[in-house]
A and B are shown apart, each in its own frame.
Chain A
């Protein structure tokens, strides 16, 4: 019943930050997925003990290849094993693709706003990459809040001069030299600039830690954004 567990082999592991990794896996007969969807990963110990966690897909559909973005959580049971323990060439079990709510579809041609906090950038990066490959496109805006320049994931995917993609990285603790915006949490002013380019019905996708998502959600609604247009995903 349901969505079957399938084996997926680790092809490659790329460091994004000191504690974050992209895992590239191959999952035979992968049915494809939509940007924003996630998978469940199941690990099994020798004594049969199993642990399951959800991880967002960081890339659009690409045959049997899937990319997961994993942030190692201090004292976590699963994430440190995935970021540093699982040998390249070894297998885990995955189930997916999962979730049809927090998704962006290539046929969406209206402008959209993506708001990421920390590792919440993972599913939004899949949307950005799918948007780049789409034939007819509306403008996409990404607001990405991180602590410091060392904490930025997917630099190569987010800065490539695409005229229909506007990326603004906002630093909460330490900004790179020459930054105009002083370090600090996301503000109404940050959001106003981005939402000014949206239509009233344009979708907004917000992903990040619970506190971040709540704060952005409240700021958007305070500025008159229709809650129906806001889709959120919370990471812990």
Chain B
């Protein structure tokens, strides 16, 4: 896949999200609260990987989630609002 900061898609979230979720995430269903488009997480447009992964609606670019890695922690922010969860991951 890519080796630059570029637009990817939700498929590349499988690894990072596997560190904090116990189920395979790319098949998760998501509905955009802004434009009502729906589909699997795999089809989200993802920007990154640095400074973080920003997943957006493929229709209207509304933010679905953001994920930032900090050493042994992963920060997860759902939607476009504020309020991040910092998860400790096992090395």
Contacts and interface: CB of A to CB of B under 8 A. Distances in A.
A210 B56 CA distance: 14
A20 to B, nearest CB: 12
Chain A contact patch, size range: 20 to 34
A40 B3 contact: no
Given A52-B15, A99-B42, A232-B43, A1 B2 contact: no
Contact of A102 (B6, B15, B20, B42): B42
A236 interface: yes
A1 B11 contact: no
Interface in B1-32: 1-4, 6-12, 14-15, 18-21, 24, 26-27
B82 interface: no
Interface stretch (A23-31, A53-61, A142-150): A53-61
A40 B89 CA distance: 16
A77 B6 CA distance: 13
A236 B7 contact: yes
Given A77-B3, A233-B9, A236-B7, A3 B15 contact: yes
A75 to B, nearest CB: 8
B40 interface: yes
Interface string A192-236: 000000000000000000100000000000000000000111111
B49 A102 contact: no
Interface string A1-37: 1110000000000000000000000000000000000
Given A54-B15, A101-B40, A38 B90 contact: no
B30 to A, nearest CB: 12
Contacts of B41: 101
Given A53-B3, A232-B9, 11 more contacts: A1-B20, A1-B90, A38-B11, A40-B15, A54-B15, A100-B14, A100-B24, A102-B11, A233-B9, A235-B8, A236-B7
Interface of A: 1-3, 38-40, 52-56, 73, 75-79, 95-96, 98-102, 210, 231-236
Interface of B: 1-4, 6-12, 14-15, 18-21, 24, 26-27, 40-43, 45, 49, 89-90
Q: Which 4 A-B pairs have the closest CB atoms?
A: A236-B2, A76-B3, A101-B42, A98-B14
